[in-house]
Structure 1
Amino acid sequence: MKYILLIILLVSHLFVLSQKYNFRYYGADEGLPQQSVLSILSDREGILHLGTQGGFSRFDGKKFTNLSQKDGLNSNHVTSIYQDIEGDFWLGHRYDAPTFVSGDSIKALTGGWSDSIRSSTWGITRCLDKMWFVTEKEGLFFYDINSDKVLPFKDDKLKDLTVTTLLTVDDRLYIGTNKGVFYRQDGALEKLTNSKIDNLKILSIKPDKSNKSILYFLTTNKLIKAEVSKNDLSSIEVVFSQNQTNLTSWKDFVVVDKNEFWIYSQEGAIHLKDSVSSTYTLKNGLGMNHVESMEVDREGNVWFGLFGQGLYQLLGEDFLQIDSSIGLIDDKVTGISAFKNEVWVTTEGGVSRIFYQTEKRVKIERIKNYTSRDKLIENEVFAVVNNSRGDFLLSSMNGVVYYDRGRDKFNQFSSSKYGLTTFNITVEIDDDDNIWLGSLGNGASKFRINEQGLPADVEIFNAKNGFFSDEIWKVFNDSKGRIWFGSNDQGLAKYEKGDFKYFGVEEGLTNERPGSITEDINGNIWLGTIGGGVFKYDGTSFVNYTSDDGIQADNPYFVAADDLGNIWIGSNRGVDRLNVDTEQIDFFGKSQGFKGVETNQNAFFKDNNGTMWFGTIDGVMQCFPQRIKPSKTPPLIFIEGVRIYLMKKELTEGVLLEYNENHITFDFNGIHYGSPDDVEFSFKLEGFDDVWSPVTKENAATYSNLPPGDYTFFVKAKNRSGVWSEPAEFSVRISPPFWETWWFQTFVFVALICIVFIVFRFRTRKLRKQRELLKKLVNQRTLELKEEKDKVELFNLKLSSQNELLAIKNKDITDSIRYAERIQNGMLPGDKEIAEILPQSFVLYLPRDIVSGDFYWCTKKDDITCFAAIDCTGHGVPGAFMSLIGNDLLNQVANNPELDNTGKLLATMHVKLKKYFLREGGTNVNDGMDMAICAIKPSNILEFSGAKRPLYLVRDNEVHIFKGDRYSIGESFEEDVAFTTNEISLVKGDMIYIFSDGYQDQFGGGNGKKFMVKQLRNLLIEISDKPLEKQKQILLDTFNNWKGTHEQVDDILIWGVRI
């Protein structure tokens, strides 16, 4: 017996069901002071006010601003709320007198009030100069505003009757009782007569929104519409009666318009629209059945005040939820398909078959569930599809289940038995009734169902037989009969008329992992890729949409097309709606009514009515695209306060601020209850800003260091649909400091004139005295200057004769140096000699003075060519003398056959130079020379030795540096000094550079810095492939440009040789 019951529970659950509506809940955690919401009022501006057992609350969609008995209310139990024509609030309490709230002022009505009203106040209204109150036990009271008195209302016509409700329309007070309706006008009380309503208990009276002569009456079991004449009721019409619903204990109702009403009770709420009723209870999403209060706000949002369960907001009927709480076998939905009035839903725990009917609304009749215990190969089913006959295919890990509608029979096709692929996560039926399976790991398979209801003509498509991929996420049959395959690794494939065509990066599909495929109403193919966003293919090219364009995720779980030209994109956050034509993207998550939130891969279906069915991890979400309308109601916008230097100030419009109160923050708020988190703002400060600010969600704007002047702050808000409010504004004036006021500046101007006049008179008198004294001084100084002039003339005569003598001596010295120059030039190799010895070379030689401490030397002996660049200590005449000595020593040592390498040659020169400078007493001097010497030998071998000077070899635009030894020739070292001989293999086209340090040490450029060796090295690399004369000219021009107006600091010598 146990097993029979278990099978019945698992397989054949039949329910009378309704989908879950989408509610947003507000409770204590959100700031509601107490969970029982006894009254709700949407005030004249459209702001919600709530009465709870914890006080009076203002709610702006995000936060509750609460007042309680501690703040001055007569009681925390607020049973009724009324707003008068001045915008002030009257609060009715349980067992206490009312409270009057005007702005920030709270007045607990005491005295005669407490003596008169000691029970709960259920209704409040104002008629002319009187406030009227319905109480639970004391009956009807009124408060005369002119006399400031509260009195019970007594009239024999109300004797033995219980007053239940009040309403004021055009200075006429309507009074509902347990036996009909009365009205009071011009001080007289009369009964509205009509036999159909005379003896009914009236629970509530509400006016028609567009016709004041029509009233609606809620009785204990009927909602009645009637036309009011002077003293009777006519055209009585029963709009709704209790025998049409199972909800009793009616409490009150709300009029939306002449065709739409809400009735609420302790068993739930009834929505009546166009004569079709729907019930809202705990079963379909409401927090509890006991509805204590209701309101419909200016946007059309419906609010439910529950007894002990907080505040609920109905988020419309755009999305409805079907989950395990109403019979779905498992909440993790993997696939959906539909035929006529039944929807098949595959999940990780089995398959649910939903039977529903559609008249004016979609209503679920029952759900039947299937598992592996009776019909399925395994519980986890990946996908479902059906053909035009209503046969369904269910794909899973190890095969396919085929539901044959004609035979009402389930057939199991295991993969191993019939040769089908395994791990079949997608299934599709083409126009020829062929069935296609897509597998993650085994490619695709194709077969048909034969007359016996078994698989036939099985074909396998995988990498082994040339198919483009073994990893298939989605198979899709488009409106033209083409089959599309989305793979996990190889892009997209299209099967048409027996041929495959592939799409990848080369064709514009930059992400080759399309996991979902659909087709829009224009015939475009849409792909949801893994990591690359969404692609649209119009037959010629791909267009990509990513999170940068506004979609929620670059890893969409599905793409689905509706009948209105939208693409729905599922993600882990909800769904995006992308309009194909405008490319506008709207997001729907939990706050927008999509309670399932995270969708599942390829779990979607569009039925023949245009309804979208989305699979999520929390059941199925029905979506009705045609119901989703943009909100045309702009947000309410308020400037809530002004802060000066971040400190809140109570300021009035047009306030005058001091000049140093110029750091201003404007706090503002936009109220849109439908999507409170999507309200955005733009603002500007007229007098400071020229344009409106960029759109932002920040609700404060700060301006600092504002100059004195008049300013008006404007702020506007827009809702989720882009509808903007009219701007709110607040004006301030910042006064100038006293020193910038006209009166102070006038005073200063006059004072300055007076001061200038006084100073002028004083200075004039003083100047007269100084002029007389100066005259005396001038005469005295004139005499002294004459004496001094005579002395200077005598001195100048002597100085002139000395200058003539110096000029003669200077000319003699210059002539001697010029002669030394000719001697030095005669010592240096001439151009002809260099051309014979080193025809492919140039020498850049620029002495700092007339004669130079730098010199160059070359010789050729047998088949060895030697050349050197020498930098002697000092420059000018001392350097020139040193160069003569160096040249003489070079010629001596170069002819010594024992000196067979350049290192020995430098060592010998070092010894000879030390001996040359040896003086009596054995004292050495530190004069010497830096040298780079090269010897080119047969077979293109170059020997190089250097005394503090390097050699640069440039080959193929790359420099090779050979450094010299770290001591100079003739320095005060021991005589036994060894210099390194570097042997270098040369290649034709190599450039050899040896040089002194004068070029790199030259100051110049924009900042007066040294040229530096790095810059010289880069310059030599750059010019190395140019003709030699061109290289020399570039070096010369570069040097002169760098030096500019600076003096030359040293002698310049660069020798370049091309091999």
Structure 2
Amino acid sequence: MHAKRIQNFFLQNWLCGLAIGVICAANIYADKYHFDSRDTDSGLPQNSVKAILQTGDGYFWFTTLDGAVRYDGAKFTVFNTANSPGIRSNRFASMYESANGALWLGTEDGGLTRYQNGEFHSFSADEGLPHNLVKTIAGDENGELLVGTHNAVGRLKNDAFEILFKQPNPDRTYFGKSPSGLWFWDNTAYYRLKNGILETHPTGGALNSEYTSVIFEDRAGDLWIGRRDGGLYKLKGGDFQSPLQYFPLRENFTSAFQDRQGQMWFGTASGALYVLQNERFVELIEPQESSTSDAIAGNGIISIYQDREGTIWCGTFARGLKQLNREIITVLTTSQGLISGNVSAILEMSAGEIWIAANNVSRYKDGKFTNYAEAKAAFALAEDREGALWIGGIDGLLGFKDDKFADLGEPIRKLLGINFEIYDIHPDRAGNVWFGTNKGLIRLDGDGATKLFTTRDGLAGDNVKIIYEDANGDLWIGTYGGLSRFDGESFVNFNERNGLSGNRVRSIYEDASGTFWIGTYDRGLNRFRDGKFTNYTTAVGLFNDGVFQILEDRRGNLWMSSNRGIYRVAKSQLEDYAAGKINLVTSVAYGKQDGLLNTECNGGTQPAGVKTKDGRLWFPTQDGAAVIDPEAVSINPLPPPVVIESALIDRESAAFSDELEIAPGKNDLEINYTALSFIKPEQVRFRYKLEGLNDDWVEAGNRRAAYYSYVPPGEYKFRVVAANSDGVWNESGAMIRVVVQPPFWRTWWFAALIVCSLVGLGFLIYNRRVAVLKRAHHVQEAFSRRLIESQEQDRKRIAAELHDGLGQSLVIIKNRAVLSLTARENYERAFEQLDEIAGAATEALNEVKEITYNLRPYQLDHLGLTKAIESMLRRASSDATEFSFEIDLIDGRFPEDSEINVYRIVQESVNNIIKHASASLAKIRIKGCERTVEITIEDNGKGFNTGKIRGNGGGFGLLGIAERTRIFDGVFEVHSTVGRGTVISIKLPANQS
């Protein structure tokens, strides 16, 4: 009964469907879309994209039959069994994100896989899943996970599965989409699982489920049913009792989606995409390279999705991923009736029609082209005050008025001859017409007289590309030799030497404030105000250094053309840059994905673009006239989420969460980041800084990595921010802490250890120094004692010699003198006493000499050190001990006041031999070397034990010798063996011989 009712209603309503069916708009400015493709050549692992989802963090995910794919706009990251533990199959199909941020992925043979916190975990039939083929995943009204498998519908709760419904026809069961709950069907009925209740709706008639290929419930609750045999149905409120609305689209429907604007999108097996706009379907078909059945089948759309920025994405059976970009540029070319695709100039006449120079000329009026072959090799267009059209080109100048052409070129030919080219025509306010040519600037006055201005007259260059008249009537002339201003009398020139960025000037624009904007062929844009130029190039954010035309829209943007496409920059940013408020400007570029057939624009012939009365901008290109409505260009207001993805330390991957730790000795750091904006991701811009190392932002352009060859030990903050293609910045960006661990010798504990060690070492050195000083003090005291003892012994010796020798001699002399006085009458006895007095006096005199010699030998002062030592040795030689010696001449080798110490060293050695050695033979060798004097004293005496030297007796003598040697900083050595004699070796530093 129900099926019969549906059939009857279909017969009544199909005409209504026709009335709101597909409409192919004839308006050339209707919305058009460009399909950007991504496939295995772009990084996809396989070209069947079965499901598309943008997760809460901003990443895109795609399911393919060879892995799950994450996409950031620049690169694809593939997760599969080879690189991701927890994945059991690479054949992914369905996908769903739950409220807690977990990503659920259904596979064809590996069960259900969950991705959360960077880890994968799979559930299979072994864990209670009804079947390992998971066809769909959805959420119910309570946020719990609904899973449709090959043979049952289940609910996952606390990681356990509860079977809600077993399918009677598993091989013929299909699933649809719903905001909450689940739709599915087989060849016998339609089913809806909602609020835990399973509804069953019978099949039949127009809604025979045998042919149903798609079911989609929109946010209003309406149910859309697509059939594989053609036709699309809508059930209001999902009520199978309600009237059935039919749309006669003869397609095999394969997917459906509702965007945020409420529009319904439908994909088909042929690759056609339909969107329902204002109750009318618009068909979007990607141009096909092949029309074979395999190619058409491969383009079938099996998934549709809209991202947060409003872009529609489609997954295909075998042709990868498609991104739909609305084309903001409409191109009029030969397919629309233009006479030629290579457009050189575009002019809007005061009456509103558009004239296009494209080798010949075409007039565009009321949506149609009229072509004129009479104008050949046309370059330049202009309208004079009478509304006549002037057309300039190679060796020619034409006028067009009242649908008639007239040859106006004779005055030019007379002036220039042949082989001239007219690039610009400017009728001025005084009634003159000016021409920019390849041979100079020409003025044609109202009387037909001509005058040529060239560099000889002061013009900046003879190749004149553009002429502009300012409010004062001065002409600004752009040439390939610079910019000239002409006041009717003389030229003032501007070029690279006085501030212009480049000499090949192609465009001049004066804005409402009187600021001039000058474009060059390949050296960027110039702002001229108050006699000063500001230059803008790609180095400061300009998209391209070619500026062929400058047009300002109503929003304050400057639109420019170049060899690489059309681009715009906010004039406010250009002003801020000139004022020093910002370091870079943001350019938004438009190319083929925006509708251009050829990105190469033409310039250097005028007008190289025009802003028409309706606000649209027209630019000449190599393949048609490009038309843009700036008011229809939407600005992406969403700042892109910024993610720091990975880090490499010395080219090895490093794990991190909020903090990246770098071990000591690691130098090379690479940080990879991204921004999740998918509208022209190649134009997303980044800047970053490592706070603590350099607090200035690094302008990275579109590079998604930061490099540091060396970061000193310390704690830093790495920050990165990004702007979308429209220059909207995410100023918060992303941040991680970077901790570079110092080597152990730069740690605080090592520094403390070093300080303590230094303190300890200093304490040890101090104590040792004190001990050394104490020992030196003790040695000095001992030496002083020995010196005093030596002096006392000398005094005793001298006293004894005086008492025993000289004293006794004087007593004898005294006594003999007394006796002589008492023996006056006995002369003979008196003479004897006098003779004895004389002998005693002689002996006393000899003793005085000996005492004097011992105190300081006179030979040392009169004969020198060598002779003094020889004299002393001769005197020491006796029958008891024979001294043999061999002495080099050493006079002058020592300072005069030090020679006595050398003498005493030898003297004390000789005294020791005489007094203690009991030697019969002693040998003394004094050798004069280049910088030293070496003394060797050897005897054959009784010797002694060198370990038992004492500070008296013989030991005192040796110590005295050692002390005197130390005064010289010399070397003293003694070798002795009991019973075998003694050898003393002394080496004294001396003056060079």
TM-score, with normalisation over the residues of structure 2?
A: 0.60
Alignment of 1:289-438 (within 5 A): 290-323=300-333, 328-338=338-348, 343-348=354-359, 350-354=360-364, 368=369, 370=371, 375-378=373-376, 380-385=377-382, 392-400=389-397, 404=401, 409-411=403-405, 413=407, 415=409, 423-428=421-426, 437-438=435-436
Query: Of residues 450, 455, 466 in structure 2, which corresponds to 1:474?
Result: 466
Q: Distance in 2 between matches of 1:755 and 1:305?
A: 76
Structure 1 position 129, deviation (Å): 7.7
Q: Give the 3-state SS of the residue equivalent to 1:376 in structure 2.
A: coil
Q: Distance in 2 between matches of 1:771 and 1:501?
A: 101
Q: Distance in 2 between matches of 1:103 and 1:147?
A: 16
1:132–1:732 distance in 2 versus 1, CA, 3 Å: same
**How big is the alpha-carbon RMSD for the aligned residues of Structure 1 and Structure 2?**
5.7
**Aligned 8 A contact 2:141 2:195 in 1:** no
- Residues 85-107 of structure 1, C-alpha deviations (whole Å, 9 max, x = no match): 34333334457755444566445
The aligned amino acid for 1:399 is G
Q: Distance in 2 between matches of 1:151 and 1:614?
A: 63
The aligned amino acid for 1:57 is V
The aligned amino acid for 1:91 is L
Structure 1 position 562, deviation (Å): 3.2
Query: Of residues 52, 56, 69 in structure 2, which corresponds to 1:40?
Result: 52
Count of residue pairs brought into register by the alignment: 740
The aligned amino acid for 2:599 is V
- Residues 800-849 of structure 1, C-alpha deviations (whole Å, 9 max, x = no match): 999xxxxxxxxxxxxxxxxxxxxxxxxxxxxxxxxxxxxxxxxxxxxxxx
Matched, 1:257 2:271: no
Q: Distance in 1 between matches of 2:393 and 2:712?
A: 70
Structure 1 position 694, deviation (Å): 2.9
1:760–1:573 distance in 2 versus 1, CA, 3 Å: closer
- Residues 775-803 of structure 1, C-alpha deviations (whole Å, 9 max, x = no match): 5544113334689999999879999999x
**Aligned 8 A contact 2:686 2:699 in 1:** yes
- Residue 80 of structure 1 corresponds to 94
User: Relative to structure 2, which stretch is displaced further, 125-134 or 612-621?
Assistant: 125-134
The aligned amino acid for 1:462 is L
Q: Give the 3-state SS of the residue equivalent to 1:599 in structure 2.
A: coil
1:321–1:37 distance in 2 versus 1, CA, 3 Å: farther
Structure 1 position 634, deviation (Å): 2.2
**Aligned 8 A contact 2:442 2:453 in 1:** no
Q: Distance in 1 between matches of 2:223 and 2:473?
A: 59
- Residue 188 of structure 1 corresponds to 197
The aligned amino acid for 2:510 is E
Q: Distance in 2 between matches of 1:386 and 1:428?
A: 8
Alignment of 1:47-58 (within 5 A): 47-58=59-70
- Residue 460 of structure 1 corresponds to 450
1:177–1:754 distance in 2 versus 1, CA, 3 Å: same
- Residues 962-1000 of structure 1, C-alpha deviations (whole Å, 9 max, x = no match): xxxxxxxxxxxxxxxxxxxxxxxxxxxxxxxxxxxxxxx
Query: Of residues 492, 495, 501 in structure 1, which corresponds to 2:484?
Result: 492
Unmatched segments (≥5 aa) in structure 1: 1-13, 209-213, 357-364, 449-456, 803-1059
Query: Of residues 66, 69, 76 in structure 2, which corresponds to 1:64?
Result: 76
- Residue 873 of structure 1 corresponds to none
The aligned amino acid for 2:196 is G
Q: Distance in 1 between matches of 2:638 and 2:630?
A: 20
- Residues 141-172 of structure 1, C-alpha deviations (whole Å, 9 max, x = no match): 2253447447472489x999965413354xx5
**Aligned 8 A contact 1:445 1:458 in 2:** no
Matched, 1:586 2:587: yes
Structure 1 position 272, deviation (Å): 5.6
- Residues 901-928 of structure 1, C-alpha deviations (whole Å, 9 max, x = no match): xxxxxxxxxxxxxxxxxxxxxxxxxxxx
- Residue 566 of structure 1 corresponds to 557
Q: Percent of pairs identical after alignment? A: 21
Q: Distance in 2 between matches of 1:179 and 1:458?
A: 90
1:571–1:755 distance in 2 versus 1, CA, 3 Å: closer
1:331–1:768 distance in 2 versus 1, CA, 3 Å: same
1:577–1:739 distance in 2 versus 1, CA, 3 Å: closer
- Residue 176 of structure 2 corresponds to 165
Structure 1 position 571, deviation (Å): 2.5
Q: Distance in 2 between matches of 1:159 and 1:60?
A: 37
- Residues 548-593 of structure 1, C-alpha deviations (whole Å, 9 max, x = no match): 6554566532333333333333332334534444415525254884
- Residue 616 of structure 1 corresponds to 621
Query: Of residues 523, 527, 545 in structure 1, which corresponds to 2:535?
Result: 545
**Aligned 8 A contact 1:598 1:617 in 2:** yes
Q: Distance in 2 between matches of 1:744 and 1:500?
A: 82
Query: Of residues 635, 638, 645 in structure 2, which corresponds to 1:640?
Result: 645
**Aligned 8 A contact 2:40 2:46 in 1:** yes
The aligned amino acid for 1:33 is P
The aligned amino acid for 2:559 is W
Q: Give the 3-state SS of the residue equivalent to 2:602 in structure 1.
A: strand
**Aligned 8 A contact 1:376 1:401 in 2:** no
Q: Distance in 2 between matches of 1:189 and 1:123?
A: 17
Structure 1 position 723, deviation (Å): 0.8
**Aligned 8 A contact 2:640 2:724 in 1:** yes
- Residue 849 of structure 1 corresponds to none
Q: Give the 3-state SS of the residue equivalent to 1:779 in structure 2.
A: helix
Q: Distance in 1 between matches of 2:193 and 2:55?
A: 26
Unmatched segments (≥5 aa) in structure 2: 1-24, 575-584, 796-850, 864-993
Structure 1 position 436, deviation (Å): 5.5
**Aligned 8 A contact 2:314 2:322 in 1:** yes
Q: Distance in 2 between matches of 1:419 and 1:766?
A: 112
**Aligned 8 A contact 1:96 1:114 in 2:** no
**Aligned 8 A contact 1:398 1:414 in 2:** no
User: Relative to structure 2, which stretch is displaced further, 641-650 or 711-720?
Assistant: 711-720
- Residue 691 of structure 1 corresponds to 695
1:695–1:423 distance in 2 versus 1, CA, 3 Å: closer
The aligned amino acid for 1:588 is A
- Residues 631-673 of structure 1, C-alpha deviations (whole Å, 9 max, x = no match): 3322222222333433213345557776566875543333332
Structure 1 position 182, deviation (Å): 6.1
Q: Give the 3-state SS of the residue equivalent to 1:556 in structure 2.
A: coil
The aligned amino acid for 1:166 is K
- Residue 781 of structure 1 corresponds to 787
Q: Distance in 2 between matches of 1:74 and 1:99?
A: 8
Q: Distance in 2 between matches of 1:434 and 1:577?
A: 34
The aligned amino acid for 2:381 is V
Q: Give the 3-state SS of the residue equivalent to 2:699 in structure 1.
A: coil
**Aligned 8 A contact 1:319 1:622 in 2:** yes
1:745–1:255 distance in 2 versus 1, CA, 3 Å: same
Query: Of residues 270, 281, 285 in structure 1, which corresponds to 2:285?
Result: 281
- Residue 800 of structure 2 corresponds to none
Q: Distance in 2 between matches of 1:61 and 1:504?
A: 47
TM-score, with normalisation over the residues of structure 1?
A: 0.57
Structure 1 position 757, deviation (Å): 11
Matched, 1:503 2:522: no
- Residue 269 of structure 1 corresponds to 273
The aligned amino acid for 2:198 is L
**Aligned 8 A contact 2:685 2:722 in 1:** yes
- Residue 730 of structure 1 corresponds to 736
- Residue 905 of structure 1 corresponds to none
- Residues 170-220 of structure 1, C-alpha deviations (whole Å, 9 max, x = no match): xx5566899998654553234799xxx999979454665xxxxx4464443
1:22–1:792 distance in 2 versus 1, CA, 3 Å: farther
Q: Give the 3-state SS of the residue equivalent to 2:41 in structure 1.
A: helix
Q: Give the 3-state SS of the residue equivalent to 1:333 in structure 2.
A: coil
The aligned amino acid for 1:492 is S
Structure 1 position 396, deviation (Å): 2.6
**Aligned 8 A contact 1:384 1:427 in 2:** yes
